[in-house]
Chain A
Amino acid sequence: MLRGDTASDVFASFVEENEPRLRRALTAAYGSEVGREAAAEALAYGWQHWDRIGAMTNPAGYLYRVGWDRARRMRQRRPSVEQVPAHAPEVWVEPGLTAALESLPEKQRVVIALCHGFDWSMSEVAEFLGVSKSTVQSYESRGMRRLRRSLGVES
């Protein structure tokens, strides 16, 4: 890399901190394959334009939008939610959970994944997605309600 060490260091630090957030959010929306690819493309775009993006108030949120844009172009009726792969650590989840998540609108699924899958606070999700906290609360509430309904859990 020919860019200055300082910029590289700053961006590397940014990647270290934000790569999981970006990848997880996009994976929650578009599935592992498309989500990871979109996150990688967004980070590449971020490095290309780091002089400008690094000065933004919420560069991670901006790159989420970039990744979102890339993912929407790549997605071709691929499933957005996968079963846990066989080589993943042994874990038991409700068999209907994958289908229930797949049935959620994208926004609700992303918020549910970030809030409950990865323990983000609603404020963090709101800032990252660029929406208000009340909007995140709305998506979370609706998403959980639909999940409960889909899984036959009424309370």
Chain B
Amino acid sequence: MTDTIREQLREHYQALDSAQERISWNEIEGRVGTRLDASPQRRPLPRRGVLVTALAAIITVLLVGAIPLLVGPGEEPPADTVVPNTTIPVDPSSLTFTRVDPPNGETLIEGFQVGGAFRAVSWNRNVWTTGDGVAWELLAELPPPPFAPAARDIDSDGARLAVVEAVGQAGPTGAECVGDEYALHVSVLDSGDAWSAGSIPLRLDETSEVGCLSVFETRITVGPQGYMVTARVSADLMLENIVARELDMSFDAVSEDLREIRQDGWVLEAVIGRERHTLDLERLGYADDISRFVAQVNALFPVDSDDLISMGEGNVVWWSSDGDTWHQADPSGPLQAGGMSVSLAPLATEDGFLVTSSDGGQSSVWTTRDGSWNHVGTIESPAVEPVRWGRGILLIGDGVWSFDGSSIETLTADVDLSEHHVSAGSWGMVAAPLFPGRPLLFSPDGREWVELDSGNFGDQDEPSLQVVGLGDGFVVLVEQSGWGDDSPRPLWIGRP
């Protein structure tokens, strides 16, 4: 029946699509012309600098116009002035959000909680740090990139912050689609201002005729002996130049996993989509001396055990003690109870992993420390993917659960919290929206939740928000969507 629904969906959307007129080049040009004609000072399109200046002026006017709403009429906030703006009552506590100025007026593109501070990277390639959102310190400048600046992804752990730049022969991947040799350049900033850098080559035989190779979802996990970098590498193949049989791959299946765990510790995964001229390659790699990680298809976790575990689709679990020799784990437990999906999450305080197996309705919850399984219980929720959310708190399916290592208890049931999850010290947690316009959801304890409209934070109605923990509070970094994206992004500090 599911296949029937999918067929119906395809028929439905294909029919709608065929009835819809494509957007032509002439229509696009016409809209640009109309927009310019409608502006108070008509200018020809090629004078983009003038246009940008005009837009910037408009944005500035709008921003200045909005400031009195925040600080009172006729006043422009001086630098580093905290302006109380919004209070969110949450029984028995409350959050107060204050708007602060970004450092040096720079646009912050991404920030992280590092230790007790907030670090952020700006478009100017500066790394700023603050402990309270008011006083900022210029910590470092990003190292010169091999090619055009493109901070693809940033991650942090402890006092370290890493910048990953994926580049190809002609520049950042995604910007150019030429060549077959790429690399992930990784720069790591330690607790001071010293950078160390390394490079991970991405040269895969299977992509020798790649038309465009892009890298995304890069992550860095910091372990006691080094760094582990993961990335999803997507290669668009020019199939007219490649015969499928040469790759020994079939394009008949909806998806077919080809996963190889090799002796050298690299995991190479290829997923072939039906009738798609795309080959997704995932390469999970780690330094030779890293021995304390758990690997999942899309995630790698550091763990406080001497073992490695790898769980892939098809309910195959691999276990290793050294990263070289892999054994299939005890096939009983979640593998037998499996069904549609099996997922795992690290349990930082319990020195092991929580594993869920779901048949699409109920989920069985298990823990493991050494490859053998302990059945915790069964919950009435499909375990899409368990997420560790703060100490002893898990997000599984549509619910929030507490887990003390031996039993699992519902805190919140049937809520849509499939967003970005941030813990904030002892106060609580926040589910930040991945899509613009969605509300932020706050909770002090995982039981009671309160919504805050994201429109409170931006100069536009529905900005995108990045929420980062900062001590017992949160930093909200606002990304203006659409027309106002040239302006510095507002910053908010939320504290209990």
| B152 and A57 contact, CB distance less than 8 A | yes
Tell me, in angstroms, the Cα distance from A143 to B110 when the chains sit together: 30
**Contact status of A153 and B1, CB under 8 A, knowing A112-B9, A117-B12:** yes
Q: How far is the CB of B121 from chain A (nearest CB, A)?
A: 15
Considering only CB atoms, which chain A residue lies closest to B23 in the complex?
Answer: A40
What are the interface flags for B20-48 relative to A under an 8 Å C-beta threshold, 1 for contact and 0 otherwise? 11110101110110010000000011101
- Residue from the list A24, A106, A121, A133 in contact with B217, Cβ < 8 A: A133
On whether the beta carbons of A66 and B29 are closer than 8 Å, the reply is no
Known: A19-B23, A69-B436, A113-B9. A24 touches B2 (CB 8 A): no
363-421 of chain B: CB within 8 A of chain A:
382, 384-385, 398, 416, 418
Is B175's beta carbon under 8 Å from chain A? yes
CB distance from B441 to the nearest CB of A (A): 14
B1, B5, B32, B275: the one contacting A119 at CB < 8 Å is B275
In the bound complex, what is the Cα–Cα distance between A21 and B15 (angstroms)? 15
How many angstroms from the CA of A151 to the CA of B8 in the assembled complex?
12
Q: Is A123 an interface residue (CB 8 A)?
A: yes
Total A-B pairs in contact (CB under 8 Å)?
A: 204
Q: Is B464 an interface residue (CB 8 A)?
A: yes
Given contacts A27-B16, A66-B481, A141-B384, contact A134 B298 (CB under 8 A): yes
A112 to B150, CA, bound (A): 31
Contact assessment for B19 and A88 in the assembled complex, using a CB-CB cutoff below 8 Å = yes
Residue B14, interface by CB 8 Å: yes
Cβ-neighbour of A72 out of B8, B44, B437 (below 8 A)? B437
CB pair B19–A73 under 8 Å, yes or no, is: no
CB contacts under 8 Å to B, within A70-101, are 70, 72-73, 82, 84-85, 87-89, 91-94, 97-98, 101
Give the size range of A's interface with the partner: 35 or more
Q: Which residues of A contact B27 (CB under 8 A)?
A: 40
CB distance from A102 to the nearest CB of B (A): 12
Report the minimum CB–CB distance from B433 to chain A (whole Å).
Answer: 10
Residues of A within 8 A of B95 (CB): none
B462 within 8 A of A: yes
Within 8 A of B (CB), among A1-26: 1-3, 12, 15, 19-20, 23-24
Whole-angstrom distance from the CB of B254 to the nearest CB of chain A?
A: 10
Contact B44 A2 (CB under 8 A): yes
B2, B18, B382: the one within 8 Å of A153 (CB): B2
In-complex Cβ contact of B234 among A39, A123, A153 (8 A)? A123
Cβ A93 vs Cβ B461 within 8 A: no
Q: Is A103 an interface residue (CB 8 A)?
A: no
In A141-155, the 8 Å CB interface with B consists of 141-142, 144-145, 147-148, 151, 153, 155
Least Cβ–Cβ distance between A107 and chain B, in angstroms: 6
With contacts A48-B45, A105-B416 taken as known, whether A24 is within 8 angstroms of B13 at the C-beta atoms is yes
CA distance A15 to B232 in the complex (A): 25
Known: A44-B28, A93-B8, A135-B418. A113 touches B464 (CB 8 A): no
Q: Do A44 and B45 touch (CB < 8 A)?
A: no
6 closest pairs, A vs B, by CB? A117-B13, A69-B482, A44-B31, A57-B174, A88-B19, A116-B9
Known pairs A56-B175, A131-B434, A147-B5. 9 more at Cβ < 8 A? A23-B22, A43-B23, A92-B11, A93-B11, A97-B12, A113-B13, A119-B276, A133-B217, A135-B418
* Residue contacts A-B, CB under 8 angstroms, 17 given: A3-B46, A23-B23, A40-B31, A43-B31, A44-B28, A44-B31, A45-B483, A57-B150, A66-B481, A68-B481, A69-B462, A88-B16, A94-B5, A117-B9, A134-B299, A141-B384, A144-B2
Interface residues of A (CB under 8 A from B): 1-3, 12, 15, 19-20, 23-24, 27-28, 32, 36, 39-41, 43-45, 47-49, 51, 55-58, 65-66, 68-70, 72-73, 82, 84-85, 87-89, 91-94, 97-98, 101, 105-107, 112-113, 116-119, 121, 123-124, 126-127, 129-135, 137-139, 141-142, 144-145, 147-148, 151, 153, 155
